Structure 1
Amino acid sequence: MKKIRLGFVPAHREPFDENWAEEMRKRCLDSFAGIEGAEIVVPDKKLTKNGCVRNDEEAEKTIALFAEKGIDGLLIGTMTFGDEVAALSVASAFQDLPILLFGTKEGPFTADGGRRSDSFCGTLSVSSGLHRRQIPFVFGGLVFPEEEEFQLIVSDFVRVCSVCKGFIGARIGLVGPRPERFETCIFSEDELMRQFDQRVVPISIPDIMKMADPAGANAEEIKKIAAKIKKKADVSDVAKSTIGKMAGLEYALFTFAQDKNLSAMGVQCWNAMQEVYGISPCHVMGRLTDAGVMTSCEVDIYGALTMLFQYQAALGSTVPHFIDWTIKHQEMEDTFLAWHCGNGPASLACNADEVKLRYHSILGESLGIDRSQGTGEFQLKEGIVTLCRLQEHEGEFKMLITNGEAIHSDEKLRGSWSWVQVDDLDELYGTLIEEGFVHHASMIHGDYSEAIIDACSFLGIEPIVV
């Protein structure tokens, strides 16, 4: 994933200590250099005096620099009693981007007992101006730049900017209609357009099938994909023809994603795939997610967008698993089964050697084993996880956000799955019911809850934190 480009405004006011402002600017840049995924754009000492921003002329130069570089977010730091008019001019020019405001701590008094910085006064001046202009921002505290807590705050802010950059204007594929009996998967396309400038790109199952023919014009590319599938999974329980069809479907869906510049897609995974094409697409969908195209089941567009939210928050370092909340553990308290039919990305397997292709555990009986092969079945790896779900009612979006821990089990269950322990499962389940969330969610390894909460605030999404 490309680095997130942050514009840094080192705000200063004359006649406060010039040397102190210059020193704090350097210490900030040294601190930012260690932030994963960040690329800092800052006026240099040729563009503005000592590389700080203190007046209208320097603000205009900084705005031009940031516009030229195409920044993804804005860091405003008061090196001293920063000039709020200059800082707010830059903020106003980029008010549609995430903004982080922070102040710097006071250094030692001067020899005659004076203050060198008075940064907090400047921070208040900037923050009140942001409120006055109704420009949203997050506050990073009053800090010395080297402090670990501040570095964590900036690191989270990079993730916030990544989410907003990837979410606003995203293109989402819609592959076939949702299941007729799944009202769960309805969505409001016009609200996605209006609020997030997103575009839903539909394609029919027959159009996908044309591209997916293993014996057609794309046969050589499809053979290469089939070889990769066989290399990464135990295919002993599925027919050779199933592997070819899976490879063809992967080629078709990935080509669709590339041609239309899609970040995610929702796929009609039953019953047409089984009845018309003769496989279950589950493992293919997991492979697409592993390839960076977030792919949800049952044409769940809000589910695909939840996956995209998490993937961007992780800076592409890991991928999510599209899950059902499902059952409480029969014996362990506050533990539930995070499960789906066999769509788990193989990169998340607790043991790569145990990824096995099988027939669909639910549809096999009704549609036939021969026509329902193609699930990728395994237990997911252990570790801290973040669970989310985007939902919309009457144009108002909200995001369920909670954390848990995926734990190991010696059980042999169907599908792709993990037992997840949370602090209070009854509270979580109650919140899901009372807030109108559905049974689908997205789970990603790692704790990205703070970044997701802040991203929601910039995007106008209400965070529901459990």
Structure 2
Amino acid sequence: MNKLRVGYLSLVKGSWINAGLEGQRQDALKALSELGAEIVDCGLLVQTEAQAQEVCCKFEEARVDIIVAHFITFSLGTIVPGMAVRLRKPVIFWSQPEPPMNGGRIAANSLCATNMNAHALWKMGLKYSFVYGNADAAMPELARQLKVIGCLRDLQRMRIGSLGGRVPGFYTSNFNELALREKFGVEVEGITLLELIEVARSIKGDELAGALKQIKGSCQCKVSDEELNKGAALFAAFDKLQKKHRLDAWSVRCWPEFSDIYGIGVCHILGCLTGSGAPAACEGDIYGATAMLMVKALSGSDAFFCDLISFDEKGDTGLFWHCGAAPVSLCKPGCVPQLLKHSIIDGGDKKGIAVEFPLKPGAVTIIRIGETRNGNGYRLLSIGGEGIDTSQMLHGTPLTVRFKRPAAQLVNQLIDSGFEHHYVLCHGDITKEIRHMAGMLDLELIEL
């Protein structure tokens, strides 16, 4: 994806001008330049509406994604609201601590400027957020917020391939296509199982050999060569269709007919797709695929599409698991991923290919995107926790997570609130990013 374009707007008021303000502006630009975004500099200490008008034209021409309104001192209350209305881009208000107070006049009044301007944007229903601190101190939070804005921008361009629709009886995989497009910008392309399988059956030679190398990776293989070749052809076919339909992620009807038609289960191939940068959700879950795209962008970690299958009140833990579609990047250190017959398809141990390993420990965030009960909006679940050392206690890919609140209370709230049974887990604590995203999208946020 292209770099985020950040419009940097340095604001002052004439009655607060002093020789040190340009130095603060340059310090801010230097700090911003290290965040990996493309900085579109306003080029001056903006004092007047006329200057702001010229800057607004510059930002408009550069097609900035967000405005960072840096109140080096107090500023006129008309500049930022006018620019936000014209550009229709979110604003990050940046205020600095007041310089030392030694009995003289107020030196900057930066925080008050944010307070005043935030009121105006709030009244107009425009999106904004806030960071506080001098150049170095403000950067971690500013970087976090820019990451969220980048994720939201990129989601507007994302396309998910819905392969075969959803699995039977899983109302939790239902989705509203137009509402998804309106709220998140994500487009869905319907693709038939027939198209995928016909392409898979055409894969041969070097193309097959290359795909075989990718799906085997560092795994220990305990399935037949025929199953591995079928899996490799399937992976190559997904890749071809991904390019043909310009897809960024997949939602796959992985049962009941898939293994009957093609001869193997698709589980490990979905994990390979996720690990190669195209998140793949099981059981036709479009919102699950959307959440996988989201957490990948925010955490940098491959996502784990999973169920919560048990909990322990004594340890305040829950066991997250799925049957064999996790990317091998999530394997616990010291363990070797195993390619096996699937433990459930046709009663178990009849057809490959599933991957098995316990997931690596560490801080995790678990989310779920779902519709509100009346269907007129979306809600976003966010659970923070710590993945702890987990054994291969059952077939599939398990991870035990220690919650930050009593496990029974958390599970009861999930059930009472009617959440869907699919969750998306990533490594890393992105709960602040999820909170910010919910605010930017006007989602109902539930934090557990």
Match of 1:48 in 2: none
CA deviations over 1:309-330 (Å, ceiling 9, x no partner): 211212xx2211011011124x
User: Of 401, 404, 407, which aligns to 1:420?
Assistant: 401
User: Of 259, 281, 287, which aligns to 1:274?
Assistant: 259
Question: CA 1:352–1:225 in structure 2 vs 1: closer, same or farther (change >3 Å)?
Answer: farther
Aligned AA (1:132): K
1:396-411 alignment runs, 5 A limit:
396-411=377-392
Match of 1:429 in 2: 411
Measured after TM superposition, the shift of residue 444 of structure 1 is 0.3
Match of 2:92 in 1: 100
State yes or no: 1:301 paired with 2:286.
Answer: yes
Distance 1:382 1:358 in 2: 23
Measured after TM superposition, the shift of residue 146 of structure 1 is 2.2
Measured after TM superposition, the shift of residue 373 of structure 1 is 0.2
Distance 1:82 1:312 in 2: 35
Distance 2:240 2:24 in 1: 49
Measured after TM superposition, the shift of residue 356 of structure 1 is 0.8
Measured after TM superposition, the shift of residue 355 of structure 1 is 0.7
State yes or no: 1:87 paired with 2:48.
Answer: no
Distance 1:352 1:245 in 2: 29
State yes or no: 1:145 paired with 2:135.
Answer: yes
Match of 2:56 in 1: 63
Kindly indicate whether the alpha-carbon contact (under 8 Å) linking 1:11 and 1:87 is maintained by their aligned counterparts in 2.
no
Kindly indicate whether the alpha-carbon contact (under 8 Å) linking 2:366 and 2:382 is maintained by their aligned counterparts in 1.
yes
Kindly indicate whether the alpha-carbon contact (under 8 Å) linking 1:160 and 1:313 is maintained by their aligned counterparts in 2.
yes
Match of 1:47 in 2: none
State yes or no: 1:250 paired with 2:235.
Answer: yes
Measured after TM superposition, the shift of residue 260 of structure 1 is 2.3
Aligned AA (1:277): Y
Match of 1:285 in 2: 270
Kindly indicate whether the alpha-carbon contact (under 8 Å) linking 2:6 and 2:65 is maintained by their aligned counterparts in 1.
yes
Kindly indicate whether the alpha-carbon contact (under 8 Å) linking 1:328 and 1:336 is maintained by their aligned counterparts in 2.
yes
Kindly indicate whether the alpha-carbon contact (under 8 Å) linking 1:17 and 1:117 is maintained by their aligned counterparts in 2.
no
SS in 2 for 1:326: strand
TM-score (norm 2): 0.93
SS in 1 for 2:210: helix
Distance 2:398 2:51 in 1: 55
Measured after TM superposition, the shift of residue 413 of structure 1 is 2.5
1:216-235 alignment runs, 5 A limit:
216=202, 219-235=205-221
Distance 2:66 2:105 in 1: 35
Distance 2:292 2:179 in 1: 19
Match of 2:150 in 1: 162
1:26-425 alignment runs, 5 A limit:
26-35=26-35, 37-44=36-43, 51-95=44-88, 97-108=89-100, 113-141=104-132, 143-147=133-137, 150-213=138-201, 216=202, 219-235=205-221, 237-314=222-299, 317-329=300-312, 332-351=314-333, 354-365=336-347, 369-370=349-350, 372-393=351-372, 394-423=375-404, 424-425=406-407
Measured after TM superposition, the shift of residue 332 of structure 1 is 4.9
Distance 1:151 1:256 in 2: 41
Kindly indicate whether the alpha-carbon contact (under 8 Å) linking 2:90 and 2:126 is maintained by their aligned counterparts in 1.
no
Runs of 4+ more than 6 Å apart = none
Moved more, 116-125 or 197-206: 116-125
Distance 1:109 1:251 in 2: 66
Kindly indicate whether the alpha-carbon contact (under 8 Å) linking 1:211 and 1:218 is maintained by their aligned counterparts in 2.
no
SS in 1 for 2:309: coil
Match of 1:465 in 2: 447
Structure 2 gaps of 5+ residues are none
Question: CA 1:223–1:411 in structure 2 vs 1: closer, same or farther (change >3 Å)?
Answer: closer
Measured after TM superposition, the shift of residue 39 of structure 1 is 3.2
Match of 1:447 in 2: 429
Distance 2:141 2:345 in 1: 46
SS in 2 for 1:84: coil
Aligned AA (2:161): G
Kindly indicate whether the alpha-carbon contact (under 8 Å) linking 2:203 and 2:237 is maintained by their aligned counterparts in 1.
no
SS in 1 for 2:80: helix
Kindly indicate whether the alpha-carbon contact (under 8 Å) linking 1:233 and 1:353 is maintained by their aligned counterparts in 2.
no
Measured after TM superposition, the shift of residue 205 of structure 1 is 0.1
SS in 1 for 2:324: coil
Kindly indicate whether the alpha-carbon contact (under 8 Å) linking 2:311 and 2:408 is maintained by their aligned counterparts in 1.
no
Structure 1 gaps of 5+ residues are 45-50
CA deviations over 1:171-199 (Å, ceiling 9, x no partner): 21100021112122111112113333332
Match of 2:7 in 1: 7
Kindly indicate whether the alpha-carbon contact (under 8 Å) linking 2:10 and 2:46 is maintained by their aligned counterparts in 1.
yes
CA deviations over 1:282-333 (Å, ceiling 9, x no partner): 111111111111110001001111111211212xx2211011011124x852
Kindly indicate whether the alpha-carbon contact (under 8 Å) linking 2:359 and 2:390 is maintained by their aligned counterparts in 1.
no
TM-score (norm 1): 0.90
RMSD value over aligned CA atoms? 2.1
Measured after TM superposition, the shift of residue 217 of structure 1 is 5.4
SS in 1 for 2:353: strand
Kindly indicate whether the alpha-carbon contact (under 8 Å) linking 1:177 and 1:268 is maintained by their aligned counterparts in 2.
yes
Distance 2:90 2:362 in 1: 30
Question: CA 1:319–1:66 in structure 2 vs 1: closer, same or farther (change >3 Å)?
Answer: farther
